[in-house]
Structure 1
Amino acid sequence: MTDTLSVARTRVWDLPTRLFHWALAFAVIGLIVTGLNGIMEWHFRLGYTVLALLLFRLVWGFVGGRWSRFAAFIYAPGSVIAYLRGKAHPDHLIGHTPLGALSVFAVLALLILQVATGLMADDEISASGPLTRFVSGAMVSLATGWHKAQGKWIVIVLVSLHVLAVLFYVLVKRHRLVGPMLSGDKLVIAGPASNKNGNGNGVAPSRDDAASRTLALLLFALCAGVAFWVASLRL
């Protein structure tokens, strides 16, 4: 008797992760627009929003749903090479692919750096970050230069590449990327049905129940409180 493959709808992206994703996307676009047009008061507000979101994602990467945890998409170099050679592990097609994971970590790291330098930046005209008075003048100058020049353009390039990559996967490779990030579910092809995971296809779904959503809400409230406190330091 041979095993047969099964296809089942599986919860991959929990609601907190989905809300984070779209909130961060709109906030970053808003930061770019307000920064380029000198709308600094809104630029700061969106910056504090991104700070709260990034703090939340760092915590949620350890306690969130199965496929939202960093442990689920930290790949060894060998896995990345195998994926590039077309020898993907089945898990690579459920959550973040190895290339997608590299993109996620790159974007998070860059945004953390951009927010951090923004908090220490001072244009000496009308806008200064809340942490400028706690660091040296040399650090303020370095942070301002990075935030207004290299950092800004790298963010724009990464955002553009991310959009192009999504379009490539959707239009050329016919991968459903946008739908699962809206609904949270993916159609996963796996081995024989498994009662252990409760989803009928042997793939462990992400936890996305009332308890986990309540935890996420409390964590985000805490992160928002930290961002609000940082904002209050601005003179």
Structure 2
Amino acid sequence: MNTTATTTAKTVKVWDIWVRLTHWLVAIGIFVNLTELIEEGSTWHEYVGYAVAALVVSRLIWGFIGTKYARFSDFFPTPRRIKNHLTGFGKQGTHLGHNPFGALMMFALWGVIIALGVTGYLMGLDAYWGEEWLQELHEILANSLYLLIPLHVLSAIGMSFVEKQNLIKAMITGNKVDLSI
């Protein structure tokens, strides 16, 4: 990084408190349910699952009404944005908010989490009680998180080096350094 960029770079509040709070509460809830800190299928497992799904739904709503960098309009992964991201890969200041691949990961994680909530709910209904296919689908969805979560974490760490930004710290503080100036 050149010294001119260092002296003119400014800190920007990118991720608001709701983005950060939902991110970390979802992470904690998923950790609790996947590591079986509470018994699988127990009432607490269900409550944590529903709470996590509700947090994701609230974050989806926030994607339409929230702050600038929380809105889908800022980071929705259109083909053009994906192409621009690939051609500008490694350039500092390309994305102050989420990049298109980060957005794809978010949507994949959110889709799985909501599907887990729905399948978990359906398993408790009389109409689906004991349905093996539904239990298997729920388990497949849960197991997919064992792939998606490490990919998400490793990507955040990798992009921290590429973008010369501490993305994990930014998801705690909400602040990033605008290197595009």
Establish whether TM, by shorter chain, passes 0.5.
yes
Instruction: Please give the alpha-carbon distance, in whole angstroms, between the structure 2 residues aligned to 1:172 and 1:156.
Output: 25
**Of 17, 20, 23, the match for 2:19:** 17
Which residue number in structure 2 is paired with residue 77 of structure 1?
Answer: 79
Instruction: Please give the alpha-carbon distance, in whole angstroms, between the structure 1 residues aligned to 2:98 and 2:91.
Output: 12
Change (3 A) 1:7 1:91: closer
Amino acid corresponding to residue 15 of structure 1 in structure 2: I
Q: Is the 8 A contact 1:34 1:40 kept in 2?
A: no
Per the TM alignment, residue 118 of structure 1 is displaced from its structure 2 partner at its CA by: 0.9
Residue-pair matches, total: 176
Instruction: Please give the alpha-carbon distance, in whole angstroms, between the structure 1 residues aligned to 2:94 and 2:120.
Output: 35
Which residue number in structure 2 is paired with residue 206 of structure 1?
Answer: none
Structure 1 segment 80-229 matched on structure 2, within 5 A: 80-86=82-88, 92-121=94-123, 129=124, 132-133=125-126, 135=127, 140-148=131-139, 150-170=140-160, 174-191=164-181
Instruction: Please give the alpha-carbon distance, in whole angstroms, between the structure 2 residues aligned to 1:17 and 1:56.
Output: 10
Change (3 A) 1:173 1:16: closer
| Structure exhibiting the larger radius of gyration computed from Cα positions | 1
**Of 41, 44, 47, the match for 1:42:** 44
Per the TM alignment, residue 173 of structure 1 is displaced from its structure 2 partner at its CA by: 5.8
Give the SS at the match of 2:36. Answer: helix
Q: TM-score, normalised by structure 1?
A: 0.66
CA RMSD of aligned residues (A): 2.7
Instruction: Please give the alpha-carbon distance, in whole angstroms, between the structure 1 residues aligned to 2:25 and 2:88.
Output: 33
Unaligned segments of structure 2, at least 5 residues? none
Amino acid corresponding to residue 86 of structure 1 in structure 2: G
Map Cα deviations across residues 169-227 of structure 1 (whole Å, 9 max, x no partner): 33566431011111111111345xxxxxxxxxxxxxxxxxxxxxxxxxxxxxxxxxxxx
Change (3 A) 1:109 1:39: closer
Q: Is the 8 A contact 1:7 1:187 kept in 2?
A: yes
Give the SS at the match of 1:95. Answer: coil
Give the SS at the match of 1:75. Answer: coil
Q: Is the 8 A contact 2:13 2:175 kept in 1?
A: yes
Per the TM alignment, residue 120 of structure 1 is displaced from its structure 2 partner at its CA by: 1.1
Map Cα deviations across residues 54-83 of structure 1 (whole Å, 9 max, x no partner): 221121111111000111111321321231
Q: Is the 8 A contact 1:83 1:89 kept in 2?
A: no
Amino acid corresponding to residue 152 of structure 1 in structure 2: A
Per the TM alignment, residue 36 of structure 1 is displaced from its structure 2 partner at its CA by: 8.9
Map Cα deviations across residues 100-155 of structure 1 (whole Å, 9 max, x no partner): 1111111111111111111112xxxxxxx2xx13x4569x443222002x112111
Q: Is the 8 A contact 2:38 2:44 kept in 1?
A: no
Q: Is the 8 A contact 2:157 2:168 kept in 1?
A: no
Q: Is the 8 A contact 2:38 2:45 kept in 1?
A: no
Give the SS at the match of 1:93. Answer: coil
- Structure number with higher helix proportion: 2
Instruction: Please give the alpha-carbon distance, in whole angstroms, between the structure 2 residues aligned to 1:173 and 1:65.
Output: 23
Amino acid corresponding to residue 17 of structure 2 in structure 1: L
Change (3 A) 1:62 1:41: same
Instruction: Please give the alpha-carbon distance, in whole angstroms, between the structure 1 residues aligned to 2:173 and 2:36.
Output: 30
